[in-house]
Structure 1
Amino acid sequence: MNKEILYVVDAVSNEKNVSKGLIFDAVETALAMATRKRFGMHMDVRVAVNRNTGDYDTYRRWLVVDDEDPNFESPERQILLSYAHSRGLDVEVGEYIEEKIESVEFGRIAAQTAKQVIVAKVREAEREKLVSSYRDKVGQLIMGTVKRVDRKGVFLDLGDNAEALIPREEMIPREMVHNSARMRGYLKEIRQEQRGPQIIVSRSDVNFLIELMKLEVPEINQEMIDIMGAARDPGSRAKVAVRANLPNIDPVGACVGMRGSRIQTVTTELNGERVDIVLWNEDIATYVMNAMAPAEVLSIVVDEDKKTMDIGVDKDKLSQAIGKGGQNVRLASELTGWTLNVMSVEEAEAKTEAEQQAILELFISRLDVDEEVAIILVEEGFSTLEEVAYVPREEFLEIEAFDEEIVNELRERARTALLTEAIAKDTPIPADDLLTMKGMDKELAYKLAEMGVRTMEDLAEQSVDELLEIEGMDKDRAAQLIMTAREPWFSESA
C-alpha cells in the first residue's frame, strides 16, 4: 500500500499542479480521520507518512496542560502535567505525549473521506496560488465579469479561475447588476476567511473614485495635478479637491475635460453619481468656500482651537448650501476636515454679536474695566483672558488707545484672574517666564505645568525623552525648547 500512496500523491500533484507536500498532508489527514472513525472519534490522532517510501505510522496523542488550566476538557485528548510527571515523562505544558497504535490500511479507508480531504486541500492550495498573484494589486482598479449575485454580494470572474467578491456594503446603492456584465472595482483587501483567502472589491470606497480620476485624467498620473482629498456619498454625490503643480494648468478644467467628457465617464462608472471638482487652497477659509460650491458663501467665522467654522449664506440659498439631508455641508466638512455650521447671514451675525457680547461681559467683570476698554479689546481681536495676559507686550503696545501703563495693568489683572480661577479648579499654572519663552505656546505650557514643569528652570532640567511623553511632541522641538530654557545657564557661565 505504500507504493499506492506514492502513486496517488504523484498523480494528484501533477494533475492539479500543487506541491507533493500538500498532497502528503492531505493523505495524513485522511488516514487520521479514518483511524478516529475506527477506534473512536474522541481520540486525537497523528499519522506520519514517509515521503520517500510511502510507509506510515499512526500515533494517538495527548496535549499536556497545566493542572490549574480551566480549559482542561477531556482526558481522551489531554493529560495533566502532574499526572504526566508521575508516569516519569519529561514533558512541559504545550507538548504532546504520543503512543503508537495500529494503522488502518490505506486501501480500506473510507474512500469518500480521503477524496474530500484531498480535494479540499487542493482547492485551498489552488485558491491561495491564484489569490497570491493579486496581493500586489491591492489599492488598484480591477475588472471582472459578473458571475453570480447572492445575499453576500456580487461575485466577479477575474479570469484564470480567480474570483472576487463585492460585498453588499461595498456596492453602490440602488445599482442594477446583471449576470455576464463587465464591472470595475477597487481591490480593497485580501481577506482571510474560513474557506481560504477571498479577494474583496469595493465600488463604494472613496479610493474607487480617486483611482477612476487617475484613470481618466492623464495629468494626475503625470503628477501635473494632485488629488488633495475626496469625499463620497456613494451613488449620489462626491467632491474631489485638486491642485495644479504647474502655473499654466487649470486643474478643475483638466479634470472636467472638454465639454465635461472626462468627469462624465467617471460619473457613468459610478452609476450616475455627481462629482464636484473643488479647487484646493492652502488658505483654509478659501478652501472651505470652494468646497461649499455651488452655494455662495457670504461670511465665515473661524475657530481654530475647535477647528470649526460658522458659514453665512443668503437666506434664500440656505437649503442649497446645506443640501438634501445635509449632504453638501457634510461632504464639504469631510473633504476639508473642519466642522462646518451653515446658517443664514442674519443668523451668523446674530451669533457673532452674541459671542462678542459674552466676551465683552467677561472682560468687564473679570478685568474690572469699563465698557469702552472692553470694546477696544474685542475690536482688536482679543477673546480670552489668556490672550490678554500673555500676548507679547510689543503687540499690545501697538494699540493706539493704550499706553504702557494701561497695557501692564491689563496684563496683570488678566493673570490675577487666571490664577484665581486655577486655584479654584486646583489647576497647575505655568510661570510667566515659561509662558513667554521663545517657541512656547499656551497649550504646551499648561501641559508642562501638569507634569510639574512650571518654570524655564524646570524645563532646562528635563531630557528630550521626558518631553516626548507629551502628545504631538517630536525630538527636534523638544531639544530646541530645552536648549532655549538653558540659555540663561550659558549667559551666567559667560
Structure 2
Amino acid sequence: MEQVTSLNRLELLQVADAVAREKAIERDIVLGAMEEAIQKAARSRYGQENDIVAEIDRKSGEIRLARHLEVVEEVENDAQQIRVEDALARNPDAQVGDFISEPLPPLDFGRIAAQTAKQVIVTKVREAERARQYEEYKDRIGEIVNGLVKRVEYGNVTVDLGRAEAVLRRDELLPRETFRQGDRVRAYIYDVREEPRGPQIFLSRSHPLFMSKLFAQEVPEVYDGIIEIREVARDPGSRAKIAVLSNDSSIDPVGACVGMRGSRVQAVVNELQGEKIDIIQWSPDPATFIVNALAPAEVAKVVLDEDAQRVEVVVPTDQLSLAIGRRGQNVRLASQLTHWEIDILTEEEESERRQKEFRDRSQHFIDTLEVDEMVAQLLVTEGFADVEDVAYASIDELASVEGFDDELAEALHERAEEYLERMDAELTSKRQELGVTDEVAEVANMSPAMLVRLGENGVKTLDDLADLAGDELAELLSDWEVSIDDCNAIIMAARAHWFDDEEADGEAQAGDGEAGSAAADEAAEEPADGQRPQD
C-alpha cells in the first residue's frame, strides 16, 4: 500500500512537470492549481463552511490536508473557531486571535470530486497560460511572426505561433488571399489586448508597417538604419508607394531597396501576392516630395497652399491619366504618402482657369473702382486680388505699377477706401436689421461681413456667441481665413461678461453681509429703549 501511495505521489509531480513544460508556465503555478482543486474537493467532503487548506510537498509529492481554526474566548462557529482552553491542550502557546491547524485524514476522491478538481486545474492552468502569453507578446507589437494556420472560420484565420494563438481577421488579409489549415503564414503583430476571454494577439498582412518590416528583413541597410523608410501608403494586394531616405550620401536608397536585378523588392512583392511597389526618394521639401510621389507621371508645376495643406499639380495632358492612375489609385496613394491633398490639372485646364480668374478680378476692379479695363488688368497683373489689397497698399506701392503715376495712385487708393466704407455701412445696416447687437459687434476681430453671417445663422447676442463651440464658429466663418484659435479667442471674449456678472454678484453679497454686520454692531451698542447710556 505504501508503494502504491508513493507511486501516486511521484506521478502527481510528474504530471505537474509535464503540464508546466507543455503550457510553458511555472511548475509552482500548476501545483498551486492542484492544491486549490484538492481544497475544493475537501470542502465538498467536509463541508463548505470549513477553512480547509491543502498542501503538496514540492519534493515528495505528499498531500497534506488541514483545517484552520481561530482561537476565541467564546465559540460562535464550530467549523472555524476553537475555545482557547481546547487550543491550549493542543498548543501550550496558543493565544486568542491565533490560528491552529488541525490535520485531516487523506481524501479519497470520488468520481464527482475528481471531475471538479480536474475542472479547477484546467481553468487555473488556462488562466496562467493566458497571462504568460500576454506578458510575452505585449512588448512584441510591431514584429513580424511566422505561424501555422490552425483553423479558418468565416474568413478569419487562427494562427498557431507555437507558444500562443493569434487572430488574422478577414479585413487584415490581402484581397483574394485564402489560407487552409496547415499553411504557413507570415504577418505583423499590430495589437495585443486583454479581453474577457483572454489575451488576444491581432495580426495583419495589409498594415503599411508590414511592408516596412519586410523591407527591413530583405534590405540589410534598412535593418542597420542606414536607410530609413519614412512613409508607406498601401492599397493592399494591388499597389503601394514607399518613401525612403539614406543617411549615407554614398548609398542610393532606391537602388538599395530594389536590389540587384530587383531581387530584394521582388522578395517583398512575392510575399504580398504580387502587390506592385513604387520606391521613391523622400525629400524634406514638400514640392519635391509630391513630385516624386506622383511618379511615374511627369509634373510640370506645383502650387502649394500650406495653410490648407493642399497642393495643385499641373501635368501635361498626355500625363493626366498616368498621374491619376487607375480608379484614382496613383494620386490617392501619393496623397496618403505625402499627407497633402492633391488636385491634378492639365496645363490647358490651368491656363483656362487662370484666364477666368484674370477676367473676374479685372471686372471686379472695373465695377468697384470705376476704372477702365487697362487699369484693372494692370492691377491684376501686379498681384492685387481685391479692393482690400488696393486700400491697404501705400500710395508709393500703387504708383510703382508700370503706367501709374502719383495722381492715379491717390485716386485708386481713395476710391478703394470709399468703397470699403460704403460696404461697411451697408453691412452694418444689414447687421442691425438682422438684430445682431452692438455688444457682439464690439468683440475684437469681427468684421461687418462676419457679423452679418452670424445674424443670418441666428447668432445675435453675446450669449448666443458665447454658447458656440470653436469648431461651430469656424464653420460659420469658413469663408474667411479664421483659425480655430482665433475662433476660441472670440468665444472667450464673448463669455467675459459671464465672469463680470459673477464677480458683481459676489461683491453685492459681500456688501450685504458687511451692511448686516454693521447694523448688528450698532444695535449692540444702542440700549433697548433707544436712549444712549448714562455716564
- How high is the TM-score relative to the length of structure 2? 0.59
Unmatched runs of 5 consecutive residues or more in structure 1: 1-5, 40-44, 58-104, 433-440, 455-494
- Deviation string, structure 1 residues 74-132 (Cα, Å, up to 9, x no partner): xxxxxxxxxxxxxxxxxxxxxxxxxxxxxxx9946554344234313312311331342
Question: Aligned equivalents of 1:106 and 1:399: distance in 2?
Answer: 109
Report the alpha carbon displacement of residue 261 of structure 1 after superposing the two structures with TM: 1.7
| Corresponding residue SS for 2:216 | helix
Q: 1:375 to 1:129 in 2, by over 3 A?
A: same
2:136 is aligned with 1:137: no
**C-alpha offsets along residues 333-381 of structure 1, whole Å, 9 cap, x if unaligned?**
1111111222332223223333444444455555666544543443344
- Kept in 1: contact 2:258–2:264 (CA 8 A): yes
Report the secondary structure of 1:247's partner residue: coil
Who is 1:167 aligned against? Answer: 169
Choose 387-396 or 303-312, whichever is displaced more. Answer: 387-396
Pick closer, same or farther for the CA change 1:408–1:451 going to 2, 3 Å: farther
Shift of 1:320: 2.3
Counterpart contact for 2:216–2:223, Cα < 8 Å: yes
Instruction: Give the Cα separation in 2 of the matches to 1:385 and 1:55.
Output: 97
* Alignment-mate amino acid for residue 222 of structure 1: D
The one-letter amino acid of 1:450's match is I
Measure how far apart 1:444 and its partner are.
8.3
Q: What is the aligned partner in structure 1 of residue 123 from structure 2?
A: 120
Pick closer, same or farther for the CA change 1:178–1:418 going to 2, 3 Å: farther
- 8 Å CA contact 1:32–1:46 kept in 2: the answer is no
CA–CA distance in structure 1, aligned partners of residues 384 and 371 of structure 2: 14
Seen in structure 2, the aligned counterparts of structure 1 residues 25 and 222 have a Cα distance that, compared at 3 Å, is closer
Report what 1:321 is aligned to: 323
> Residues 16-42 of structure 1: CA distance to partner in whole angstroms, max 9, x if unpaired?
334756876787699889999xx9xxx
Aligned equivalent of 2:243, options 234, 238, 241 = 241
Residue equivalent to 1:293:
295
| SS of residue paired to 1:137 | coil
Q: Residue 278 of structure 1: which of 276, 280, 297 is its match?
A: 280
Counterpart residue type for residue 142 of structure 1:
V
Q: Deviations over 1:165-221 (max 9, x none)?
A: 211111111124344343221111113333211221111000101111222222233
After TM superposition, list the pairs within 5 Å mapping 1:407-446 onto structure 2.
Answer: 412=417, 416=421, 424=431, 428-430=443-445, 443=483, 446=486
Unmatched 5+ stretches in structure 2 = 1-8, 21-25, 56-63, 69-106, 448-480, 495-535
Q: What is the aligned partner in structure 1 of residue 88 from structure 2?
A: none
Aligned partner of 2:467 in structure 1 is none
Output the CA distance in 2 between the equivalents of 1:218 and 1:422. Answer: 67
- Per mean C-alpha deviation after superposition, the further-off stretch among 163-172 and 277-286 is 277-286
Pair 1:326–1:409, CA change in 2 (3 A):
same
Residue 450 of structure 1, aligned match among 477, 490, 514:
490
Where does residue 484 of structure 1 map in the other structure? none
Distance of 2:418 and 2:245 partners within structure 1: 48
Partner of 1:228: 230
Deviates more, 1:328-337 or 1:123-132: 123-132
- Pairing partner for 1:344 from 340, 343, 346: 346
Take 2:348 and 2:215, find their aligned partners in 1: how far apart are those partners? 39
2:206 match:
204
Superposition deviation, residue 406 in structure 1: 7.1
- Cα distance change of structure 1 residues 407 and 269 upon mapping to structure 2, 3 Å threshold: farther
Residue range with higher mean Cα deviation, 136-145 or 297-306 = 297-306
The alpha-carbon distance between structure 1 residues 46 and 132, as it changes in their structure 2 partners (threshold 3 A), is: farther
Task: Decide whether the 8 Å contact of 1:130 with 1:162 is kept in 2.
Answer: yes
* Alpha-carbon distance in structure 2 between the residues aligned to 1:123 and 1:247: 54
Letter of the structure 1 residue corresponding to residue 243 of structure 2: A
Q: Distance in 1 between matches of 2:108 and 2:297?
A: 77
Q: Are 2:369 and 2:412, in contact at CA under 8 Å, matched by a contact in 1? A: no
Taking the TM superposition and a 5 Å limit, the aligned residue runs for 1:371-410 are: 371-383=373-385, 405=410
Q: Is the 8 A contact 1:23 1:122 kept in 2?
A: no
- Root-mean-square deviation (CA, aligned residues, Å) is 4.6
- Alpha-carbon distance change, 337 to 445 in structure 1, aligned in 2, over 3 angstroms: closer
Q: Which residue of structure 2 lines up, in the alignment, with residue 268 of structure 1?
A: 270
Are 2:297 and 2:323, in contact at CA under 8 Å, matched by a contact in 1? Answer: yes
Secondary structure of 2:139's counterpart equals helix
1:305 corresponds to: 307
In 2, Cα distance between equivalents of 1:205 and 1:178: 21
* Matching of residue 150 in structure 1 with residue 153 in structure 2: yes
Structure 2: how far apart are the matches of 1:312 and 1:361? 26
Aligned residue type for 1:205:
H
2:300 alignment partner, SS class: strand
Deviation at 1:155, TM superposition (A): 2.6
Deviations, residues 11-66 of structure 1 (Å, cap 9, x unaligned): 87554334756876787699889999xx9xxxxx9996546675579xxxxxxxxx
- How many residue pairs get aligned? The number is 391
Separation in 1 of the partners of 2:483 and 2:276? 42
Residue 214 of structure 1 aligns with which residue? 216
Distance 1:177 1:295, change over 3 A: same
- Matched-pair contact (CA < 8 Å) for 2:33–2:120: no
Conserved? CA contact 1:24–1:49, under 8 Å: no
Counterpart AA for 1:273:
E
Shift of 1:140: 1.6
State how far apart, in whole Å, the 2-side matches of 1:110 and 1:235 are. 55
Cα drift, residue 417 of structure 1:
7.8
For 1:133, what is the secondary structure of its paired residue?
helix
| TM-score calculated relative to the size of structure 1 | 0.64
- C-alpha deviations, 1:265-315, integer Å up to 9, x for none? 111111100000122223322222211111222333433333223333333
Q: How far apart, in 2, do the equivalents of 1:110 and 1:331 lie?
A: 63
CA separation in 2, counterparts of 1:373 and 1:155? 74
- Alignment-derived partner of residue 195 in structure 2: 193
- Provide the identity percentage: 41
Contact 1:214 1:220 (8 Å CA) reproduced: yes
1:370-404 Cα shifts (integer Å, max 9, x gaps): 54454344334444666666689998887565868
For the residue of structure 1 that corresponds to 2:157, the secondary structure is strand
Residues of 1 paired with 2:329 and 2:378: CA distance?
Answer: 40
CA contact (8 A) 2:19 2:30 kept: no
Query: Contact 2:188/2:205 (CA < 8 Å) preserved in 1?
Result: yes
